[in-house]
Amino acid sequence: MTQSFYPPQRTLMGPGPSDVNPRVSQAMSRPTIGHLDPMFVAMMDEMKAMLQYALQTRNELTIPVSAPGSAGMETCFVNLVEPGDTVIVCQNGVFGGRMKENVERCGATAVMVMDDWGRAVDANKLEDALKAHPQAKVVAFVHAETSTGASSDVKTLVELAHRYDCLTIVDAVTSLGGTELRVDEWGVDAIYSGTQKCLSCVPGLSPVSFSEAAIAAIKGRTHPVQSWFLDLNLVMGYWGAGAKRAYHHTAPVNTLYALHESLVILEEEGLENSWARHRTHHNALKAGLEALGLAFVVPEAERLPQLNAVTIPEGVDDAAVRTALLGDYNLEIGAGLGPMAGKVWRIGLMGYAARKDNVLNCLAALDEVLGRMDAPVNHGTAVAAALAAYSD
């Protein structure tokens, strides 16, 4: 007979999912109630308010889509983009490529602004594209590119897009909770995130938020949204302010308890303290990795604290190292994606995983495994360098 599944207790320091806070796992196992139960509806209202805080927005339409980050991405595109539209997509890694796919599946044209993998989106190139394509309706880009660890300047890119009368779609899957993000102050029109990164929650939900201008564009559409499930005109009836909740779909009740708890934890810590915590542990991890002799892929000024991509030393077997870390230390770090496959490791410091014990354990494990494999690194230096960074 098939047995129950008991996963091992891993430490998740890859590109996500990241470690789930035990309080979140406990919240998830609370009794399932009906999704139109008044107690559940009250919990949803609290969650909306906490998501507004996390995103620093007053946008009324701020909700978790009942599906992972990819569905949040798709929600933004299918609602804002119509057949025949032109959308400028800035690509500096894997996820800009997915945006292009979304645009084209909406029957629109994607104008691609390409940047090197490992670099931030270049505002000058975006401006050239905006000048060359005055018919463009939307500009889309990724705030925190998980495939490389590069952070782009949301404020500047949004200002530029607005100067050319474009709406903006921003991917904040890896940034929310880990890096400064201010939706209203920066004027973002549509944004989506995920629960499995810096929110320390389980995967499976995608917080999204839409400005008044974005809602006006959705209401003024001439073509119906091609996705029934993601059509915000219908979803708004379910999540709308004080709306009498009508059945749209069965909400993932227990997963929403999990997100509620992770947002309570974020409020307790304070958003800015959470950003600062990610930075502190990044600084220590960086000191340890650089002491070993591992070079960062992204220039310092454009680097995300929560996703550390470093170059694999010459002659070292990528998969063998990651397998040893997983097998001997229950530690997961990420492989490179696309053109970076086999060339980089991606070490995540996201949410509950961004802690001193994790930084020190990860460095000690990596140091030991690389030493065992006779890798050309400075053995025995990583933990001391990280401790020195903590005491600075």
- Binding site members: 346
Among the residue ranges 168-176, 245-253, 274-282, 349-357, the one whose residues contact ligand PLP (CB under 6 A): 168-176
Cα–Cα nearest to 337, from 119, 18, 117: 117
Q: Which residues contact 194 (CB under 8 A, 6 or more apart)?
A: 16, 68, 69, 72, 173, 174, 176, 203, 205, 206, 207
**Identity of the residue, 297 or 363, whose beta carbon is nearer to ligand PLP in the bound complex:** 297
- Out of 51, 173, 271, 284, name the contact with ligand PLP by CB under 6 A: 173
Does 254 bind ligand PLP (CB under 6 A)? Our answer is no
Q: Determine if 20 is a binding residue for ligand PLP (CB under 6 A).
A: no
CB 80 within 8 A of CB 74: no
Q: Does 69 bind ligand PLP (CB under 6 A)?
A: yes
Compute the least distance from the CB of residue 144 to ligand PLP, in Å. Answer: 6
By CB under 6 A, name the one of 171, 189, 261, 332 that touches ligand PLP.
171
> Under the criterion CB under 6 A, does residue 74 sit at the interface with ligand PLP?
no
**117: CB partners within 8 A, 6+ apart:** 92, 93, 147, 148, 150, 338, 339, 340
- Interface characters, 184-203, with ligand PLP (x: CB under 6 A): ----------x--------x
Identify which of 63, 100, 68, 77 has the alpha carbon closest to the alpha carbon of residue 227.
77
Task: Identify which of residues 174 and 284 has a Cβ nearer to ligand PLP in the complex.
Answer: 174
Q: Which of 77, 95, 257, 345 binds ligand PLP (CB under 6 A)?
A: 95
Q: Which stretch binds ligand PLP (CB under 6 A): 3-11, 150-158, 169-177, 369-377?
A: 169-177
Q: List the strands of the sheet with 11-13, edge to edge.
A: 11-13, 331-335, 344-348, 307-311
Report the binding-site residues for substrate: 346
> Under the criterion CB under 6 A, does residue 149 sit at the interface with ligand PLP?
no
Q: Classify residue 117 by its DSSP letter.
A: T
Instruction: Provide the 3-class DSSP secondary structure of residue 61.
Output: strand
**Candidate ranges 53-61, 64-72, 183-191, 265-273; the one touching ligand PLP (CB under 6 A):** 64-72
Are the beta carbons of 248 and 228 closer than 8 angstroms? no
Q: Which of 54, 136, 139, 142 binds ligand PLP (CB under 6 A)?
A: 142
Query: Closest residue (Cβ) to ligand PLP?
Result: 69
Peptide bond before residue 313 is cis, with ω within 30 degrees of 0: no
Is 95 or 352 the residue whose CB approaches ligand PLP more closely? Answer: 95
Nearer to ligand PLP, 307 or 375 (CB): 307
CA distance 287 to 324: 23
- Based on CB atoms, which residue is closest to ligand PLP, 146 or 152? 146
Nearer to ligand PLP, 302 or 367 (CB): 302
Q: How far is the CB of 150 from ligand PLP (least distance, A)?
A: 11
Place of tokens 């591992």: 294
Tell me how many residues contact ligand PLP (CB under 6 A): 14
Minimum distance from residue 384 beta carbon to ligand PLP (Å) = 32
Only one of the segments 66-74, 162-170, 217-225, 282-290 lies at the binding site for ligand PLP (rule: CB under 6 A); that segment is 66-74
Collapsing DSSP to helix, strand or coil, 268 comes out as helix
Q: Which stretch binds ligand PLP (CB under 6 A): 170-178, 240-248, 316-324, 356-364?
A: 170-178
**Which amino acid is located at 261 in the chain?**
E
Amino acid identity, position 320: A
Which residues, other chains included, contact 108 with Cβ-Cβ below 8 Å and sequence gap of 6+? 81, 82, 83, 84, 85, 86, 87
Task: Scan residues 97-126 and list those touching ligand PLP (CB under 6 A).
Answer: none
What minimum distance in Å lies between the beta carbon of 125 and ligand PLP?
20
User: Which helix (H) or strand (E) segment is 153 a member of?
Assistant: none
Write out 338-391 in H/E/C secondary structure.
Answer: HHHCCCEEEEECCHHHCCHHHHHHHHHHHHHHHHHCCCCCCCCCHHHHHHHHHH
Q: Select from 391, 359, 21 the least CA-distant residue to 200.
A: 21
Residue (28 or 386) nearer to ligand PLP, CB: 28
Rounded CA separation 187/114 (Å): 23
Q: Which residues of the chain form contacts with ligand PLP (CB under 6 A)?
A: 15-16, 68-70, 73, 95, 142, 146, 171, 173-174, 194, 203
